[in-house]
Structure 1
């Protein structure tokens, strides 16, 4: 079979689908083929642990043209007072609906269970059949920052054959253990702890191996729609901290005091920041687990002991739960637009669907790669808190360069993927006016000061 298309999008996960959705919306002539090795769309959402939810609200996740959820504020449960967050099952259904919607345009063909051979051919992984593919314009790499999840990653430590071990996505099959040890300090580790607590496991039966402490963001300050002023106040606090901080330590202190960053143990310096969100309910519950091992990374798991960088501890017969997958790949930034190729990366920090849709808009509306790369410089994916200053400054400097791009500004204001899209409806309130004045008054100085701090760190 011979195929011909304007764009080949390699990856039918969130970024690939959000880019495709945006591109065909703003370029009415474009034709796309989207290919993915998986047999269902949604990328890593096809492989996640069953009890995972979005850590951010559904209202600004997904693709631009199709809402996710019902924009409902939860009235009870651990997320009460905040906008709903989709479950893994809801997201899997959503991405299947997105693919159906794209295919219905007649301009997008999604080939699941296929791989791109990088030589003008695709292979059907079920039959082995190879198809010729002519790409008239660009290949779009939607997997450059491909997510690593527990179900698909290989642990970085050795595991003895007789060790009691389970990846987190299979935790539900092992709930009868007498005790548990959670391996991993990030959001997945928190989710595993909360799942155990929700299933009536006493905190004293849980040990938590945390090689380093992580900073988390307060989900209550990243809310859309009717709660957008709360988010604006949060960004104003960021700008104030960025403009006034003397150095890296002072910056972190100001952000923690303002509630922008939080950590499980305030007495232990936190060095990891991947942008994960918790609310106060989750934070307080996770803190009930007090048996925390801080001896570095796990090197080997045996039946009766855990060997770590800085020592070892007995297993005590516990079931060990692997929560050590890294999330987004820490790949070096590379120009997004190049001859015959687009490499999807973040422009605004920590907002993957927004970034992918933004790049689809810019590809459709600008003619030359020099302009496109000027408007959309890649913003490095962060793992350490020392990178907060650099990545936030890069976001604000980039967004500042859009002031002379009215169509781009209009897209930003109108996309449902923009956390603050509803803000104009609330600017009549005194709270909003005060927050806006505080943000505008500090953001210019913050960019320069954060760049200075980033250079020093």
Structure 2
């Protein structure tokens, strides 16, 4: 059977099936060849001699990055994103002194190279342009772009790498009505929509809206020409607290502050006040109540620039955009034909409910350590490569859903700290965690002698036990899911 199914040189699939109509057999069928599917496959095949097939409906690997807007960058440093076996970027520092974050085209090239290496191993086939249709009569059914169908017999497990698939602007439908005569564009169309003298209304409160505003400001659009509709205000992290390698001390100090605030606060409000006063959490407008939390990050430069936008509308979600007005949940505001309305309301992170990661004949890729998607997929792949019972593996890979509201913060952090303690009790897994490049804290031992790291580790160890207990007891009102 031919296994070279992905052409790195041309970005096109090559013939993958040598049997005429016969079934294909594989040990693992991974549905979704985005960052998580590739990271899982990379870790699984590094530890086992298995046959793996990845299928993805897109024409190339990389998942939602293939649909991303042109000026997007990684949210986190390249140093701990991608797959474990292959570095991304050169660990350069940007103009603000932080580790580089790959652009969309850089990620496309990286994922193509990862796919090429996996296929070259002789144990992996990648079927892009194929839709997984589900199980039928003991086999998995897939359909290619021409409508042809094939059956794949899976000897071990089907891996769902699409359960947490992100909603991105290019494939997202606005959740509001648009009347004739109104100009509405997605952020992915923004560079082509810019007009001299135009004014802009950015709709949304999360990272995508932040990206739209910062891009417009960087293109010399004055803040007085930007109106920002924010249905809710959001909490953000300082980018300095999520840096790897030689800046890992600041990262560990931030984690120590999390544990310290959680251990000492009597309720969520006091904990937020402690985290904000320590610089761990940020609000664009400190005077506005904030509830939304999607673990997004801002640098101090970005925060300063965004605070220059004074025209902020807080009248709830947009219901309808007309030629001369915008109707919102709690009122309306004027607009006109000179205004370009930028839709930034795509959901982004998928806040799907928790499911067991390991199930009979099935693995559902999800978050385990919060805010670490590549690491989590590789972790699950590595744990699967060791074998073991589903019950035991689920204790090491407990689902930890993405946060939507700041009220999810206690549950999210407590889940991470618990599972990290379990990793530390498993010598082989602890060694893998310490050694993978996808671990944000991988450089911690190298800097353990520095005062900053010594102090941060001590503070964390002192407080984390009490923090978990306090977070478990803290009242958790239902999260607002909008």
Common fold by TM > 0.5: yes
Match of 2:470 in 1: 449
Report the 3-state secondary structure (helix = DSSP H, G, I; strand = E; otherwise coil) of the residue aligned with 2:171: coil
What corresponds to 1:408 in structure 2? 429
The counterpart of 2:414, out of the listed 393, 402, 405, is 393
CA distance in 2, matches of 1:228, 1:366: 32
- The runs of 5 or more residues in structure 1 that have no matched partner are none
**Is 1:23 aligned to 2:44, yes or no?**
yes
Q: CA deviation at 1:289?
A: 0.6
| 1:104 alignment partner in structure 2 | 120
What is the CA deviation profile of residues 289-336 of structure 1, one whole-angstrom value per residue up to 9, with x for unaligned ones? Answer: 110000000011111111100001011331000100011221110111
Q: Are 2:133 and 2:140, in contact at CA under 8 Å, matched by a contact in 1? A: yes
User: Structure 2: which 5+ runs fail to align?
Assistant: 1-20
How many residue pairs align between the two structures? 452
Out of 394, 397, 402, the residue aligned to residue 381 of structure 1 is 402
Offset at residue 40 of structure 1 (A): 1.1
Counterpart pick for 2:266 among 246, 264, 268 = 246
Q: Tell me how far apart the structure 1 counterparts of residues 251 and 140 of structure 2 sit (CA, whole Å).
A: 46
**Aligned residue in 2 for 1:352:** 373
User: Quick check: 1:187 aligned with 2:207?
Assistant: yes
Is 1:275 aligned to residue 292 of structure 2? Answer: no
2:151 aligned with 1:151 = no
> Which residue is 1:285 aligned to?
305
Which residue pairs with 1:67 in the alignment?
Answer: 87
Q: Is this contact kept in 2: 1:55–1:278, CA < 8 A?
A: no
User: Residue 26 of structure 1: CA displacement?
Assistant: 1.1
Q: Which residue of 1 aligns with 2:25?
A: 4
1:52 paired residue number: 72
* Residues 386 and 454 in structure 1, CA contact (< 8 A), matched pair in contact too: no
> 1:222 matched to which residue of 2?
242
Greater displacement, 296-305 / 365-374: 365-374
Find the residue that maps to 1:432 and give its secondary structure. helix
- Supply the distance in 2 between the matched residues of 1:396 and 1:412 (Cα, whole angstroms): 14
Is the 2:407–2:477 Cα contact (8 Å) retained in structure 1?
no
Q: CA deviation at 1:403?
A: 2.8
- The residue aligned with 1:265 is 285
Which residue of structure 1 lines up, in the alignment, with residue 189 of structure 2?
170
* 1: CA distance, partners of 2:450 / 2:222: 45
TM-score for the superposition, normalised by structure 1: 0.97
Residue 132 of structure 1 is aligned with which of 144, 148, 151?
151
1:417 aligns with 2:438: yes
Query: 1:435 is matched with which residue?
Result: 456
Contact 2:323 2:336 in 1 (8 A): no
SS in 2 for 1:99: helix
Task: Return the alpha-carbon distance in structure 2 between the equivalents of residues 122 and 211 of structure 1.
Answer: 42
C-alpha separation in 2, matches of 1:142 and 1:154:
23
Question: 1:131 deviation in Å?
Answer: 1.1
Deviation, structure 1 residue 122: 4.0
Deviation at 1:455, TM superposition (A): 4.2
TM-score w.r.t. structure 2 length?
A: 0.92
Is 1:115 the equivalent of 2:136?
A: no
Distance 1:404 1:83 in 2: 31
Task: Please state how far the C-alpha of 1:456 moved relative to its aligned partner.
Answer: 6.2
| 1-structure distance, mates of 2:424, 2:447 | 22
Q: Is this contact kept in 1: 2:134–2:142, CA < 8 A?
A: no
1:117 aligned counterpart, secondary structure: strand
Counterpart-to-counterpart distance in 2, 1:214 and 1:125: 42
* Cα separation, partners in 2 of 1:249 and 1:44, compared to 1, 3 Å: same
Contact 2:187 2:212 in 1 (8 A): yes
2:317 is matched with: 297
CA RMSD across the alignment: 1.1
Q: CA deviation at 1:223?
A: 0.5
8 Å Cα contact 1:157-1:301 kept in structure 2? yes
- Alpha carbons 2:133, 2:143 under 8 Å: kept: no
Give the 4+ runs in structure 1 shifted more than 6 A: none
Asked whether the equivalents of residues 163 and 301 of structure 1 are also in contact (C-alpha less than 8 Å), the reply is yes
